[in-house]
Structure 1
Amino acid sequence: MKRKICVVVGSRANYSSIKAVMRAVAAHPALELQVVAGASALLDRYGAVVDIMEKDGFTIDARLFMLVEGETPATMAKSTGLGLIELPTIFERLQPDVVLTVGDRFETMATTLAAAYMNIPLAHTMGGEVSGNIDENIRHAITKFATIHFPASEDARNRIIKLGEQPDTVHNVGCPRMDLVAGFLRNETEVSNQLLSEGVGSSFDVKGDFLLVSQHPVTGEYGSGERQVAATLGACLELGMQTLVLWPNADAGSEDVSRGIRKFREQHPDAPFRYVKNLPPEIYMPLMARTRCLIGNSSSAIREGAFIGTPAVNIGSRQTARERGQNVVDSGYTQAEILAAIRDRLKTGRLPSNPIYGDGHAGPRIAEILATATFNINKVITY
């Protein structure tokens, strides 16, 4: 019988981080893919990633509505609890052999606890990294629950082992997002045509110079998001360049960031800015390859950005201490600091590829290990 691998996708970031693995699992003759879509992945205000998943050919085996409205620290905690209430029912119905969870988000914590209490082996991707905020705490907590680990770099692998995990359960396979970067085939005309039909604001020419902004709330700095993103957008406006702005994720403080973007859009209706809810990886990554600079606090600047060589400005504390390449410079939150950092990156231009997070073959590696590993609930694995 095929081994059933259940992947829980809770956000657009989850999907781009695990899509290559989902493809590899679905294609593996010894594995059966199960997909649970939940949290912001189901909601139109965050781009309805579930629709993209279905267009990509994945069957959704269960839908998990767990996101409590408000995007505050309290609602994020409540959403985690709601996910923990609902996921056991889903797992009981699907009867997975392994649950595969991604990274460090609050829905990932709910997935982890549900699987652990139900004695289902847990596989964890992208563990062992440091970032200096609550995501790091969640990431390390999941590591201690996980049965098998798929870190994205050697530094992360070593840290997982230092946390007490058995070395033969920790596999440096690279980041699955690099698989998508290495394999994208979209040309500029296809990307441009889709962009023109998405979002609001100024027209956008992907063949011209442009900036790309992706800024999310920082949970530990709740209440500061509106001011922070206003400074970012103000710095971009000073440069007078086309700017593509993505909406934030669903973490606590999301509404603050969204409010800052809306106010800026209303106050500067003639700015050469286009605002888009969500872009699938096949469009976002070619844009990263063409942008003059990626600005904000998304991990994509550090992961995919290093692989592509995208000049990037990392703002604030959300990615503190995360391993990075020479494509990234750090900036504080003031408009003057951000503007200076962008100008520095514009002078530097495209940088050589630095594949510190993998070579683009993580998906097949993870699928093969999941197909051949022998699990037990005491976290002992043999091959």
Structure 2
Amino acid sequence: MQKKTLAVVTGTRAEYGLLRPVIQKLLCSQTLRVQVLVTGAHLAPEYGSTVTEIEADGVPIAARIPILKFRGPLATADTVACAIGQFSRWFWEQRPACCLVLGDRYEIFAAAQAAAYAGVPVAHISGGDVTLGAADDWYRHCITKIAHLHFPSCAEYAARVVRMGEAPATVFNVGGLGDENIRTMKKMTRAELGESLGFELVGPFGLVTFHPETAGAAAPEAQMAELLAALDETRGLKWLVTKANADAGGAAINAMLDHWAADRPEKAAVFASLGVKRYLSAMGYAAVVAGNSSSGVVETPTFGVPAVNIGTRQAGRILCENVLCCPAEKEAIGAALRTALTPAFREKARTAVSPYNGGDTSGRIVRVLEEKLLEPGFGAPKVFYDGERG
């Protein structure tokens, strides 16, 4: 039997870290042939050229699609237009049976649109979430309406996808890939992590990631200034910081981070990317995780680590007992960090129960893809699901 071709798109370090076990299992599939398309921040030196992580995993790359070459107020729109053009040509020429995407970023939105224009069905991981503080929120819901298959990370998000008009037979509540990574990936020891980073981690430290808020009128540089001031006033911790992603405003706050860390070499270390193994290892040893990354609210519950979620970027997501929310203001951030570091809150965080545990999430995704892509008529025009009619 001839294998069906499945294209998998990845554009960022965080998203590849989640897709990694899915790709690895797909590479062993007896019925699917995988073509990995690499784009976005993976190919940009200023964001760590994280394509090297994919290469180090031995994953064959079918195409490299560079898109981050625009500046100015229309940079995101220009990038999306560029990405749609390049992905459309690739999909039209290669004609894969399906395109698998994860998440909600603009480059993934562009890839999903391009697949649709070329008549290629889309399978979408992590639909149904809500993040009111980021433009990603509407990108994600648009991808849901494009996609033929849906892999949300918990029951509440699966129900939301159905309420958006997607047939229940196409929606599979598989759990969270981040949760699976934490449970299955072999972590580094604390000593190995510190040696790998070149940053001593003998005492307590906090893990920080802060991205621009892309919905609303928040000023990323002003918010970063408030965060850095709060970190400076929090005693007894070192800070391990990963830089912002390629959203508008990310380059400016990354420059602030570089300057801040250069003045505090004994207290802070900043990295463009840690890679999934170092990042999850660091999260497990951290005294607190702070910032506004999705990992701070989605993955920390599995570790039982206190988390401080800053600002509105993640507003709307399910929050567990280990997460404290605060405005992006120095005093509020400082107060939340102090609470998170208390013995009482650390105990509360330790017993948090994650709603994202789906067991063998990556395996479940692959098994559904292997089954559905071989069904006669897969990819036929979708019908809006209005619920059961009496």
- The 5 A counterparts of 1:12-91 are 12-70=13-71, 72-91=72-91
Q: Does 75-84 or 216-225 show the bigger shift?
A: 216-225
The aligned residue for residue 212 of structure 1 is 207
Asked whether the 8 Å contact 1:120–1:377 carries over to 2, the reply is: no
Q: Distance in 2 between matches of 1:223 and 1:182?
A: 36
Deviation digits for residues 132-153 of structure 1, max 9, x if unmatched? 1321111111111100100001
Aligned pair in 2 of structure 1 residues 282, 193: CA closer, same or farther (>3 Å)? same
Residue equivalent to 1:354: 353
CA distance in 2, matches of 1:113, 1:245: 34
- 1:48-71 CA-to-partner distances (Å, cap 9, x unmatched) read 11100110110111000111343x
Shift of 1:270: 5.2
Q: C-alpha distance in 2, partners of 1:73/1:173?
A: 38
Which position in structure 2 is the counterpart of 1:201? none
Give, in whole Å, the separation in 1 of the partners of 2:119 and 2:57. 31
Q: Is the 8 A contact 1:223 1:253 kept in 2?
A: no
- 8 Å CA contact 1:293–1:312 kept in 2: the answer is yes
Q: Which residue does 2:260 correspond to in 1?
A: 264
Structure 2 regions of 5+ residues with no counterpart? 384-390
Please say if 1:138 is aligned against 2:133: no
Whole-angstrom CA distance in 1 between matches of 2:244 and 2:379 = 39
Matched with 2:311 is 316
1:36-185 matches, within 5 Å, as 36-70=37-71, 72-132=72-132, 133-185=134-186
Instruction: Look up the match of 2:387.
Output: none
Counterpart residue identity of residue 172, structure 1: N
CA distance in 2: counterparts of 1:282 and 1:271, whole angstroms: 24
What secondary structure does 1:61 align onto? strand
* Cα distance, 1:346 vs structure 2: 0.5
Residue pair 1:80, 1:110 contacting (<8 A) in 2 also: yes
Q: Structure 1 length normalisation: TM-score?
A: 0.93
One-letter amino acid matched to 2:20: K
Q: Is the CA contact 1:2–1:31 (under 8 Å) kept in the aligned structure 2?
A: yes
Q: Taking structure 1 as reference, are residues 35 and 218 closer, same or farther at Cα in structure 2, changes over 3 Å only? A: same
Answer yes or no: is 1:292 the counterpart of 2:295: no
Q: Contact between 2:258 and 2:270, CA under 8 Å: does it hold in 1?
A: no
Counterpart residue number, 2:250: 254
Instruction: Determine the structure 1 residue equivalent to 2:388.
Output: none
Aligned structure 1 segments of 4 or more residues deviating by more than 6 angstroms: none
Percent of matched pairs sharing the same residue: 32
Partner of 2:194: 192
For 1:41, the aligned partner's letter is: H
Which letter maps to 1:286? S
3-state secondary structure, aligned to 1:124:
strand
Preserved CA contact (<8 Å) 2:155 2:173 = yes
Structure 1, residues 247-282: CA drift from partner, whole Å, max 9, x if none?
10001111231233234335x345611111101111
CA distance in 2, matches of 1:371, 1:222: 44
Q: 1:303 aligns with which of 287, 291, 298?
A: 298
Worse-superposed segment, 149-158 or 185-194: 185-194
State TM-score, norm by structure 2: 0.91
Query: What amino acid is the match of 2:192?
Result: E
Closer, same or farther in 2 for the Cα pair 1:301/1:269, shift >3 Å? Answer: closer
